[in-house]
Chains A and B, each alone.
Chain A
Amino acid sequence: MGVPLIETRNLKKYFKTPKGDLHAVDGVNLKINKGQTIGVVGESGCGKSTLGRTILRLLEATSGQVFYDGKDILKYSNKEMLNMRKKMQIIFQDPYASLNPRMTVSEIIAEPIKVCKTLTNKNEIDDKVYDLMQIVGLSERFVNTYPHELDGGRRQRIGIARALSLDPEFIVCDEPVSALDVSIQAQILNLMMDLQDDIGLTYMFITHDLSVVKHISDDIAVMYLGQCVEKAPAEELFKNPLHPYTKALLDAIPIPSLSSTQGFKSIIKGEVTSPINPKPGCRFAARCHYQRKECMSNVELKEVGNGHFVSCILL
């Protein structure tokens, strides 16, 4: 297998606020292999979107390293990054806010090509746009349509086509289906999985929806307040969740079935603590049933076998 396509080492992103430093991403170590999907799950404010954007350098990291194919891209110059961006793309969550309302579908999809000058001949660009539209299932007749004339599902397909226009290797998918109805969600997820099989794309799939993440991911990283608390292959995580937060998260999902004995058995009390100047130690401790003194000192992410990593003193 060799070198993972993406590797982050102790990646941190802090935001300065009047009250202190907001620890959005706080020492995350991830490895993503080529052709695979890593699902990053967590609730609002856990830092998953910030993580995705920091990896792409849409936000500048506070410290740490991001290796792409073995090279630390945080050290690259602007010129080198422009070149890298052809390989690393993003699909945004909001299919309404992420498309320029004054550009047509074909103009939106062609824009990255024109910016990076990967093609300069008008006919070649048009052909490429038609190809991409076909790949994502957008009818040719929408070539000169504006985003507001289309529904959420079709707009998201435009976003995907745009992300593919530079023939990338790696795509950060930031909650790409959360804003869509379930039947459209299913269509888009199928499309993304087909593309991965056909072109060998690598995805970082960010979502709060656990059923979606299980369906699409090879590995899953669970985030809480800027830290990765558990990491495991998808099946393994769902079969054998170890961190108390992961267990509570899985317990909280309402199952569409009457046979589950779900009585919301371990509803976590309380709210997420503040990410500003957090105290040392496990950030979940305040809400954890099993909290004890040892939780107040820093807990490391340890491997417990089968590629399964957990940061909890109980294990």
Chain B
Amino acid sequence: MAEKLLKIDDLRVVYRTDEATVKAVNGLNLSIDKGETLGLVGETGAGKTTTALSILRLLPEKIGIIESGNIQLDGIDILKATEADMRLLRGNTMSMIFQDPMTSLNPIMKIGEQIGEVLELHNPEMDENTRDEKVNEILQLVGLPVERKSDYPHQFSGGMKQRVIIAIALACEPKLLLADEPTTALDVTIQAQVLSMMRELKQKLGTAMILITHDLGVVAQTCDKVAIMYAGEIVELGTIKDIFESDAHHPYTIGLFGSIPDLTKTTKRLNPIKGLMPDPTNLPAGCKFHPRCDNCLEICKTQEPKSILKNTHMIKCHLYIQDKQM
């Protein structure tokens, strides 16, 4: 049986502040195969970035606490690893692309040096010439002219900066790439270039990816599997076929699709989800989506729904537990 590259079981993460405890991730279960791309979809406050930071163990010290759960990456128990172990993993076995390319690069280092830095840290025995060649290779891979490696970040546009960040993230050919809204800050034509490049690289290097996004269009074009997150939990999970072509969905997923203007139709008004995301310091009882759900039943108000699984499609909703066709 093929081993999962990443397996997360019942992850619970909180942010503990003086005023309140924020329940950011509430029992998350996730797994990824080698080379697979999972889209992690949800709105602000759903817990997507917290999940990514937990895998990398980069939560803010003292405030971000992994209360319980299990994270296995390539056979390594992430939660039991020492900080020294984690430093060897970050940038090497797994790396991250952060949301805002404008602020993720060191402004006083040439970009060639920033890419070289990650190679040097993880390959101390590599000589300078080999490293130089590798940097050139990666620049070509991401579509940046080699002559620009002695330029500084401010001399590049947003799209080019993001390519530099992708180059840094992929320099050591990691097995897992965490991409946190990598194209949200970019124009749509540059987004198309960057996504196309990421797809090619993924195929060439066999990298698995968790792509955090709220854009269902990006998901359809780049992902194999999709997980929809709400209030710190995955409420629906499936292949892209399950998510885009099945008739059965979690009410929140239906709400998300209904909120997006459809280019192929002319609609008078959109169908947004009423209300707002729940306060993570004061989550509702039962199903966390129930206050906003048009199909709310009595049981939804008091009991958390179990996950219902049909083949590859999982939905966490009482409507499907009650013998509904899925």
Contacts and interface: CB of A to CB of B under 8 A. Distances in A.
Contact of B272 (A183, A208, A211, A215): A183
Given A254-B195, A254-B218, A258-B245, A211 B261 contact: yes
Contact of A257 (B195, B214, B220, B222): B220
Residue with the highest number of chain B CB atoms closer than 10 Å, among A44, A211, A254, A268: A254
Contacts of A251: 192
A190 B269 CA distance: 6
A296 B317 CA distance: 61
B300 to A, nearest CB: 19
A182 B256 contact: yes
B187 A44 contact: yes
Contacts of A254: 191-192, 195, 215, 217-218, 220-222
B260 interface: yes
A268 B189 CA distance: 7
> Size range of the interface on A?
35 or more
B267 A43 contact: no
A184 B187 CA distance: 21
B256 A271 contact: no
A134 interface: no
The residue among B158, B215, B244, B263 with the most chain A CB atoms within 10 A of its own CB is B263
Nearest to B273: A183
Interface string B259-300: 111111011011111001000000000000000000000000
A44 B158 contact: yes
B269 to A, nearest CB: 5
Nearest to A41: B188
B216 interface: yes
Contact of A181 (B157, B189, B214, B220): B214
Contacts of B304: none
A235 B188 contact: no
A249 to B, nearest CB: 6
B160 A271 contact: yes
Contact of A256 (B44, B189, B260, B267): B260
A182 B217 contact: no
Contact of A43 (B188, B241, B273): B188
B193 interface: yes
Contact of A253 (B217, B244, B276): B217
B272 A184 contact: yes
B111 to A, nearest CB: 16
Majority DSSP secondary structure for residues of A touching B: helix
A248 interface: yes
A186 B272 contact: yes
A253 B264 CA distance: 12
A282 to B, nearest CB: 17
A104 interface: no
Contact of B189 (A152, A182, A211, A249): A249
Nearest to B192: A252
B196 A264 contact: yes
A272 B189 CA distance: 10
Interface in A264-282: 264, 267-268, 271-272
Contact of B196 (A151, A212, A267, A272): A267
B142 interface: no
A214 interface: yes
Interface residues of B, number: 46
A258 B241 contact: yes
Nearest to B244: A258
Contacts of A257: 220, 244, 264
B91 interface: no
Given A44-B187, A190-B269, A181 B44 contact: yes
Nearest to B276: A151
A255 interface: yes
B43 interface: yes
A153 B189 contact: no
Interface in A158-176: none
A208 B266 contact: no
Interface string B3-43: 00000000000000000000000000000000000000001
A187 to B, nearest CB: 5
A193 interface: yes
B270 A190 contact: yes
A43 B187 contact: yes
Contacts of B189: 43, 248-249, 252, 267-268
Contact of B159 (A189, A264, A271): A271
Contacts of A146: none
A272 B258 CA distance: 34
Nearest to B193: A267
Contacts of B221: 254-255, 262, 264
A243 to B, nearest CB: 13
Contacts of B315: none
Most buried by A among B189, B193, B195, B222: B189
B271 A186 contact: yes
Contacts of A67: none
Given A211-B261, A214-B263, 7 more contacts: A183-B255, A211-B260, A211-B262, A215-B261, A254-B218, A256-B219, A257-B264
User: Sorted from nearest, which 8 A-B pairs have the closest CB atoms?
Assistant: A254-B217, A186-B272, A256-B216, A43-B187, A215-B261, A252-B192, A186-B259, A186-B270
13 contacts: A153-B276, A186-B260, A187-B272, A190-B269, A190-B272, A253-B263, A254-B192, A254-B222, A258-B245, A260-B220, A264-B195, A267-B189, A271-B159
